[in-house]
Amino acid sequence: MDAGTAARGGDAKVRVDISHRYGNLLVYEKLDLGVRENEFVCICGPSGCGKTTLLDLFAGIMKPSSGHVLIDGVPADPKRQNISFVFQEASILPWLNVRDNVATGLRIKKRPAAEVARKVEETIALVGLQGFEGYYAHQLSGGMKQRVAIARAFATDADLILMDEPFVSLDQPTREKMQREVLDIWARRRRTVVFVTHNLEEAVFLGDRVVILSGKPTRIVADLEVKLPRPRDPVSEEFTRLRARCAAMLHAVHAEPRE
């Protein structure tokens, strides 16, 4: 049994079995996906296939037209579960400094002050922002802002972390550095992560699995386990072979006739 099949079975932390439509537009057609606890799953697909909508469904912000999204066996609900979101643009609060931005989720959960201070300090160190605790958004680079957003997501004991192309606006060297840093944080603070990206190299570099979606009505066309050891070498033969396989599948999706 491969990882994708296993995660669709009984050992899934997150279980998605949905169809979804906007009026007459069928967005998702019998989409069946599972994510295991502490797994890092990357989702790729053509523009407009509804990847961000899928994250909203994962988060319980939006309810599917039919079916369900379950976290630990109960319906996804941001009021019940601890679900963190990292967006394309760093969504840090400009009136708060770095320390208070990272503490936001913990304070919303009404964690004790000593715990908040300890976790904030530890997480700021993990993302390499020591010395910048008192800085505000206008004093930070784009990469530093995303570090703050990522630190905020990992500082809480999140049931699920959703990341919507968080590095898309960064230059390539910064993007590659952020990819390595996210993996380092994830290795230290194991959490269940669903990461949306258009970049197949990024997906293969980061993911335990790469899930490829079709165009609308959207379905899963591939669910590939990435068995390459970490840290991964993007120029290795195994890496380039898997990336090429993903690219061929995505190309086939783009070549499908539109309904």
Q: Give the 3-state DSSP-derived string for 69-137, with helices as H, strands as E and coil as C.
A: EEECCEECCCCCCCEEEECCCCCCCCCCCHHHHHHHHHHHCCCCHHHHHHHHHHHHHHCCCCCCCCCCH
Q: How many CB atoms lie within 10 A of CB 5?
A: 11
Burial of 228 (0-12, 13-18, 19+ CB in 10 A): middle
What pLDDT, on the 0 to 100 scale, is given for residue 124? 92
Q: Is the bond leading into 173 cis (omega within 30 degrees of zero)?
A: no
Tell if the pTM clears 0.95, that is, is over it: no
* pLDDT of amino acid 183: 94
Residue 2 confidence (pLDDT) above 50: no
Comparing CA positions, the residue from 84, 66, 78, 83 lying closest to residue 27 is 66
Kindly report the number of other CB atoms within 10 A of residue 200's CB atom.
20
Q: Which pLDDT does position 12 carry in this prediction?
A: 92
3 confidence band (pLDDT: 50, 70, 90): very low
What local confidence, expressed as pLDDT, does residue 179 receive?
93
* pLDDT value for 170: 87
Tens-digit pLDDT profile for residues 186-229: 998 899 999 999 999 999 999 999 999 998 889 999 999 999 99
Judged against a pLDDT cut of 50, whether residue 19 lies above it is answered with yes
Work out the percent of the chain whose per-residue pLDDT is above 70: 94
Average pLDDT estimate for 68-93: 89
Closest to 107 in 3D by CA, of 145, 59, 152: 152
Question: How far is 127 from 195, CA to CA, in rounded Å?
Answer: 18
* Radius of gyration in angstroms for the set of CA atoms belonging to the chain, rounded to a whole number: 18
Question: Does residue 156 contact residue 185 with C-beta atoms inside 8 Å?
Answer: no
Instruction: Tell me how far apart the alpha carbons of residues 239 and 58 are, in angstroms, rounded to a whole number.
Output: 29
Mean pLDDT rounded to a whole number for the chain: 89
| Mean pLDDT confidence for 39-57 | 92
* Structure confidence at residue 79 as a pLDDT band (50, 70, 90): confident
Mean pLDDT of 97-108: 93
Query: With bands split at pLDDT 50, 70 and 90, how would you rate the model's confidence at 1?
Result: very low
Please confirm whether the linkage preceding 231 is cis (ω < 30° from 0): yes
pLDDT bucket at 116, cuts 50 / 70 / 90: very high
Rounded distance between C-alpha atoms, residue 92 and residue 188, angstroms: 23
Domains annotated for the chain, with CATH where assigned, are 3-81+159-255 (3.40.50.300), 92-157 (no CATH)
Tell me which residue has tokens 């969504």.
91
pLDDT of residue 257: 60
- Mean pLDDT comparison of 6-10, 57-61, 255-259, highest-scoring range: 57-61
What pLDDT sits at residue 5? 47
Query: Position 93: which residue type?
Result: L
Residue 6: pLDDT band by 50, 70, 90 thresholds?
very low
What are residue 158's phi and psi, to 5 degrees? -70, 135
Convert the pLDDT of each residue in 120-141 to its tens digit. Answer: 999 999 888 999 999 999 999 9
